[in-house]
A and B are shown apart, each in its own frame.
Chain A
Amino acid sequence: MAITEVDEKSIHIIKGCIDEDRRAQKDLYTIYYAMSLGICLRYANHRDDAISILNEGFFKVFKNISKYDFQKPFSVWIKKIMTNTAIDFYRAKIKQGMLVDVSMYEHAMVEDDSISQKLDYEDLLAMVQQLPPAYRAVFNLYAIDGYGHEEISGMLGIAIGTSKSNLHKARGRLAEMVEVQGVKFGKTEEKR
């Protein structure tokens, strides 16, 4: 169960982490494991990358925990670190967003035929992970994490127009994938 507010127990754990107490660090890791892994999986190509991002993110959390402002929700702070770590992980690919390998996407579409018709978490995650990193990052930041295009442009180091364009293309591809699963949407305008 995640800590939803900075209560006394959380403060105790965070202070333990500041003192580099290994038990406190493990407690914190255990508590935020699921939430953080969820974020990392959304931004990653696959599970192995997600685990790498997760531990890189937690390493940053432990290294910088003394900078945490106790007045703010800890979960927001840790979410931001995980998101930024994931973006850093794919930064080079995100910047080369237009040069992504489309064949990978097409191959994934073929694989989609075998997945369950029910859109559960695993299905949705698989669809998001099939997006090229540049599209996926913008879609995650905008549609799920609630950032605006201006912020996304700053975070990813891309133009606002590129951010909007990538979002549009990401939605188009996701719509196609969802359509394959039986949910109908209006025809996408994206030309591939």
Chain B
Amino acid sequence: MMEKDKNKIDEIFKMGLSDANFDFDESHWQDIESRLENEKRAKKRKTVVFMTLLATAAAVLTAFFIWNSELFKSKNVSSEINGASISPGKEVLERKAVQPKENTVGEPIQDNGWIAFQPIRRTNSAVQLPNETIILQDILLSKIAETNPIGIQEGRLNTTFTIPHMEYNTRRLPRFNLKDEPVEGLGERLAAIYKPKESIESNTRERERSVVSFLAGPDLTSVRGAGKTSLSENIGLAYSYPLIKGLSVSVGATYAKKNYKSAYKFYTPSNPPEMTQLPSNVSAVCDVLDVPLTANYTVLKSKKVKFNVSAGLSSYFMLKEKYTFDYEGGGSYGGSQKSAVYEVSGENQHIFGVADFSISIEKKISDKINIGVKPFVKMPLTGIGYGNVDLESKGVAFILGMSL
């Protein structure tokens, strides 16, 4: 091919193809618009997932630090108490008035042999309790020394006291007159004032028990934006395990019969069948196994009633999906046939594909049994089912729980 021919070919095509003129086709814009909308929704979902994970991580970290700080405190207290002993060199025989650390009630402190205690905390702290304990032990020893100086002399040289961690009762401590009160019975009185922490802790542990709950209730299921809601049923079990006081995690399995209707435009199947006419509406009936994993926080708690808020993620396992596609005027499925059914089983799973939020009010009806109601909302983070629709559920579950 000659050079001029090459140039001529290039010129013909360059000139001829440079002046393209096409009428704008709205359907092309609609395609990209729906893609942009999907992208926007996906972005929102990612944000929700991210925020949920962040909140969960924050909750877990907070719980971890609270729990550890309690452990840390306990260890310190134990070690200090265990290390507290009456030293042989300590002057225990000297009579002295023990001053309260803080005179919170403003009462005058008398130095006439009365020893006034004004406990200012519910729980002994890591720093102060051992001192106070030692002081009390000193008082006891000094009183014993008055009555039997020889015995105490021998005793104090050879005795080391190990004092368990103690906790004050909330009531104000009495005053002691060490001059007049008999030593006998003082120990019992002190024991009545103090309660070993162990017993309190064991009571607390008893209160925070894991719970197995049976849940059942209806919900309103809808495709986001479709404006139609249908009644669905849920039934399932949940297990809650307490992490720390007020915070627990739950896992469960709920069987749900999800019914929902929407226009076909909300459906974006991954592998759509070839259709000469798109359906106008779709009715879906889906058997779903919902496996939620949630963090629960007890906001309010009285003796018999407690109020929880929960957040977490649910995994949907689509056991069976049945879709009925309705066609206007019969469509591609023949003049008289106005609908077509499509069924699929066990093909779609959405791991942590749904955000799960709920509140619950539970009432204790016996030591082990509680009942309650749990309004909940489930928001999709991903497209659900064959149609990849944004499936929302808003409902209420009735709870029957049993503490283990």
Instruction: Give the interface of A toward B (CB within 8 A).
Output: 20, 22, 25-26, 29-30, 33-35, 37-39, 41-42, 51, 54-55, 58-59, 62, 119-121, 123-125, 127-128, 139, 142-144, 168, 171-172, 174-175, 178, 183, 185-189
Find residues 15-44 in chain B having any chain A CB closer than 8 Å to their own CB.
16-22, 24-25, 28-29, 31-33, 35-36, 40
Could you name 28 residue pairs across A and B whose Cβ atoms are closer than 8 Å? Answer: A22-B36, A29-B32, A30-B24, A33-B24, A34-B21, A34-B24, A35-B20, A38-B20, A38-B22, A41-B20, A55-B28, A55-B32, A59-B32, A59-B36, A119-B16, A120-B16, A128-B13, A143-B10, A143-B14, A144-B10, A144-B13, A171-B6, A171-B10, A175-B1, A185-B8, A186-B5, A188-B1, A189-B1
Q: Is the CB of A171 within 8 A of B28?
A: no
**Known interface pairs A26-B33, A55-B28. Does A34 touch B20 (Cβ–Cβ under 8 Å)?**
yes
**Separation of A185 and B2 alpha carbons in the complex (Å):** 8
Prevailing SS type, chain A contact patch = helix
Return the chain B residue nearest A62 by Cβ: B36
Q: Is the CB of A29 within 8 A of B29?
A: yes
Residue B12, interface by CB 8 Å:
yes
* Contacting residue for A121 out of B6, B20, B24, B36, CB 8 A: B20
**Separation of A183 and B36 alpha carbons in the complex (Å):** 46
Return the chain A residue nearest B20 by Cβ: A38
Q: Is the CB of A174 within 8 A of B24?
A: no
* CB-based closest 5 A-B pairs: A38-B20, A143-B10, A124-B16, A186-B2, A185-B5
Q: Is the CB of A34 within 8 A of B22?
A: yes
Q: Is the CB of A38 within 8 A of B17?
A: yes
**Separation of A123 and B19 alpha carbons in the complex (Å):** 13
* Contacting residue for A144 out of B14, B21, B40, CB 8 A: B14
**Separation of A188 and B1 alpha carbons in the complex (Å):** 5
Residue B105, interface by CB 8 Å:
no
* Contacting residue for B18 out of A128, A139, A144, CB 8 A: A144
Residues of A within 8 A of B150 (CB): none
- Shortest C-beta distance, B44 to chain A (Å), equals 12
**Known interface pairs A171-B1, A175-B5, A178-B12. Does A30 touch B29 (Cβ–Cβ under 8 Å)?**
yes
* Contacting residue for B1 out of A35, A142, A172, CB 8 A: A172
**Separation of A143 and B18 alpha carbons in the complex (Å):** 11
Q: Is the CB of B9 within 8 A of A26?
A: no
Residues of A within 8 A of B21 (CB): 34
- Shortest C-beta distance, A122 to chain B (Å), equals 10
Q: Is the CB of B9 within 8 A of A185?
A: yes
Q: Is the CB of B16 within 8 A of A59?
A: no
Residues of A within 8 A of B17 (CB): 38, 42, 121, 124-125, 128, 144
Residues of B within 8 A of A41 (CB): 20
**Separation of A178 and B18 alpha carbons in the complex (Å):** 18
Residues of A within 8 A of B9 (CB): 143, 171, 174-175, 178, 185
**Separation of A29 and B25 alpha carbons in the complex (Å):** 11
Return the chain B residue nearest A41 by Cβ: B20
Q: Is the CB of A119 within 8 A of B12?
A: yes
* Contacting residue for A55 out of B8, B16, B35, CB 8 A: B35
Residues of B within 8 A of A30 (CB): 24, 29
Q: Is the CB of A33 within 8 A of B35?
A: no
Q: Is the CB of B13 within 8 A of A33?
A: no
